[in-house]
Amino acid sequence: MARHLITSAIPYINGIKHLGNLVGSQLPADLYARYLRGRGHEVLFLCATDEHGTPAELAAAKAGKPVREYCAEMHAVQADIARGFRLSFDHFGRSSSPQNHRLTQHFAGRLADADLIREVTERQMYSPADGRFLPDRYIEGTCPNCGFDSARGDQCDNCTKQLDPVDLINPHSTISGSTDLEMRETKHLYLRQSAMKDQLEAWIDSKTDWPVLTTSIARKWLNDGDGLQDRGITRDLDWGIPVRKGDADWPGMEGKVFYVWFDAPIEYIACAQEWVEAGKGDDWERWWRTDKGADDVSYTQFMGKDNVPFHTLGFPATIIGSGEPWKLVDFIKSFNYLNYDGGQFSTSRGRGVFMDQALDILPADYWRWWLLSHAPESSDAEFTWENFQASVNKDLADVLGNFVSRVTKFARSRFGEAVPDGGAYGPQEETLIADLTKRIATYQAHMDAMEVRKSAQELRAIWVAGNEYLQTAAPWAAFKSDPDRAAAIVRLSLNLIRVYAILSAPFIPDTADTMLNAFGSAPDRRWPRGTPDDFTVLQPGDAFSVPENLFAKIEDSQRADWQERFAGTRI
């Protein structure tokens, strides 16, 4: 039994996330957490909402609410949807928590003491009409390079040229439309990542088993241009964690807050404190402090590729730079993007399926299965309704659902609602058990390696083996000539359902519960040990019931309807 700390990239607060966000971090993290718990390991699985920054302030303003109130509401909404998808966080925290305030300020103080913070005076666009400094991309104007009239201040979407806001012709605020913009001086804190470049690079180099996607992005940032750049960690905003040096004021930084990308990863740690505060645990330091028991913790982070630089460089720089014995990540599992039907998901255009909508039309397990079995591991992947319908109908309804249905209904009709006695497992059963034992070992190896698609593929093959066995053993024929033989076949088949439920639970937890509940309220839920005993847990006389069909097929008419509904509006 090992101890596993698992975190999912924390979703931003300003709205409901789409399926691409889900499959890139929270869902595979949940798969891994459920699997490890199933195998008897001790797991702490944490996630939170990322609540600071300009977009949160603007979203709150648009909703006509104080930002504090808006975030509290959106956190509740996201927590509710997470529950709907059966994301089994031990705690779903908030980056705006008091714990994170204290800890973020603490880290800043430590970094300052270590001479890893420098103050930089710079000039930024200020909009008097909006009453705020504007991040580059909140300024638009005509591109001096190609003449595109909606070029953003950081880059022109038309000709892809990188820009500076002052380059724009007729610049205006995208918030208010105001053209009254001025350059103002402001002072900010920079994290001296460049001073830690060699340390960070050596650390990345030591991670030879990480996905290429993870290490290549990290190396790019380490070596691109002049190498790893120092990074601003403060902003001129109202909503955020006030800049303080530990418990002390930070002269000259009054009214400023830390940048979200500084405080968001720290929330991983603060979240464990929230977990204790919420009465769900009693010792967070044994998960996070290597001097207090976290030495043997295996820490895995899940995230989309856009998050990789902050997790491979920024956050480690914070942790290492603190000089304190915090736990560093052991493995970073990163994902590419999921596209929607030939294009990108688009919040603004309402294009694609968002988490709340997904749960409105189908139960979580349908989505979990498709998303995980098509996880964008090696390249960007694409959601299409045709593929979704085909996969769900075939894999879930036909292969697994129908297997459970045919076994339980046959058993009931011939032997009644209890595991039948009589006969014994013979060569066919031994062959199947040997095959499954091997396949389960393969499945576990893929899950251990977080090879999500391969795990799904092997799990499906395990389901298929049940159907193959039934076809070969043909209990319906045996029943006529040798009822004891049929009884043995049915006994094994019912045991298969129990084993399948346990193996499948990380992917489709609700369905797994339904399958297990067919055998009463307290069936043995222990993970298979890899011996033939795994298939004799259900004994003659044990009661079972026939569950409702596990999965309904998606009809062509439904598919067409949804296709239409989620296509979004063209601009």
Partner RNA sequence: GGGCCUGUAGCUCAACGGUUAGAGCAGAGCGCUCAUAACGCUUUGGUUGGGGGUUCAAAUCCCUCCGGGCCUACCA
Cβ contacts of residue 323 below 8 Å, gap of 6+?
110, 114
- Using the structure block, give the residue that is written with the tokens 């319908």: 389
Q: Which two tokens stand for residue 244?
A: 């303080």
Query: Measured between alpha carbons, how far is 263 from 331 in angstroms, rounded to an integer?
Result: 21
Cβ contacts of residue 150 below 8 Å, gap of 6+?
140, 157, 158
Taking residues 68 to 97 in sequence order and writing x for each that binds RNA by CB under 7 A, - otherwise, the string is: ------------------------------
Q: Which of residues 545-564 bind RNA (CB under 7 A)?
A: 549-553
Residue 103 vs 297, nearer CB to RNA: 103
Query: Measured between alpha carbons, how far is 287 from 275 in angstroms, rounded to an integer?
Result: 12
Cβ contacts of residue 457 below 8 Å, gap of 6+?
373
Q: Does 294 bind RNA (CB under 7 A)?
A: no
Residue 43 vs 81, nearer CB to RNA: 81
Taking residues 95 to 134 in sequence order and writing x for each that binds RNA by CB under 7 A, - otherwise, the string is: ---------------------------x-x----------
Q: Which of residues 315-344 bind RNA (CB under 7 A)?
A: 336-337, 344
Residue 289 vs 460, nearer CB to RNA: 460
Residue 284 vs 345, nearer CB to RNA: 345
Q: Which two tokens stand for residue 270?
A: 């603060």
Query: Measured between alpha carbons, how far is 531 from 522 in angstroms, rounded to an integer?
Result: 22
Helices marked H in 280-426:
285-288, 308-309, 315-322, 355-361, 364-373, 385-391, 402-415
* DSSP conformational letter for 313: I
Taking residues 352 to 371 in sequence order and writing x for each that binds RNA by CB under 7 A, - otherwise, the string is: --------------------
Nearest-approach distance from CB 37 to RNA, in angstroms? 26
Q: Which of residues 402-441 bind RNA (CB under 7 A)?
A: 402, 405-407, 409-410, 413
The 10 Å Cβ neighbour count of residue 427 is 7
Query: Measured between alpha carbons, how far is 569 from 350 in angstroms, rounded to an integer?
Result: 7
| Closest among 287, 291, 290 to 268, alpha carbons compared | 287
- Using the structure block, give the residue that is written with the tokens 């190396």: 219
State which of residues 3, 52, 101, 192 lies at the interface with RNA (CB under 7 A): 52
| Closest among 245, 274, 271, 273 to 258, alpha carbons compared | 245
Q: Does 179 bind RNA (CB under 7 A)?
A: no
Q: Which among 277-285, 438-446, 464-472, 526-534 is the span making contact with RNA, rule CB under 7 A? A: 464-472
Q: Which two tokens stand for residue 427?
A: 């060569």
Q: Does 346 bind RNA (CB under 7 A)?
A: no
State which of residues 105, 307, 444, 504 lies at the interface with RNA (CB under 7 A): 307
Residue 270 vs 397, nearer CB to RNA: 397
Element (H, E) at 414: helix 402-415
Residue 283 vs 468, nearer CB to RNA: 468
Nearest-approach distance from CB 526 to RNA, in angstroms? 26
- For 414, phi and psi rounded to 5 degrees? -100, -30
Residue type, 162: Q
Q: Which of residues 198-257 bind RNA (CB under 7 A)?
A: 212-213, 216-217, 220-221, 224-225, 227-229, 231-232, 235
Q: Does 477 bind RNA (CB under 7 A)?
A: yes
Q: Does 498 bind RNA (CB under 7 A)?
A: no
Nearest-approach distance from CB 250 to RNA, in angstroms? 19
State which of residues 69, 180, 283, 468 lies at the interface with RNA (CB under 7 A): 468
- For 489, phi and psi rounded to 5 degrees? -60, -45
Q: Does 387 bind RNA (CB under 7 A)?
A: yes
Residue 43 vs 362, nearer CB to RNA: 362
Nearest-approach distance from CB 260 to RNA, in angstroms? 4
Residue 290 vs 387, nearer CB to RNA: 387
In 33-108 the beta strands, taken as DSSP E runs, fall at: 42-49, 91-94
State which of residues 260, 271, 272, 492 lies at the interface with RNA (CB under 7 A): 260
Nearest-approach distance from CB 179 to RNA, in angstroms? 18
DSSP string covering 502-540, please?
HHHTTT-HHHHHHHHHTT-SS---PPP-SSGGGG-SS-T
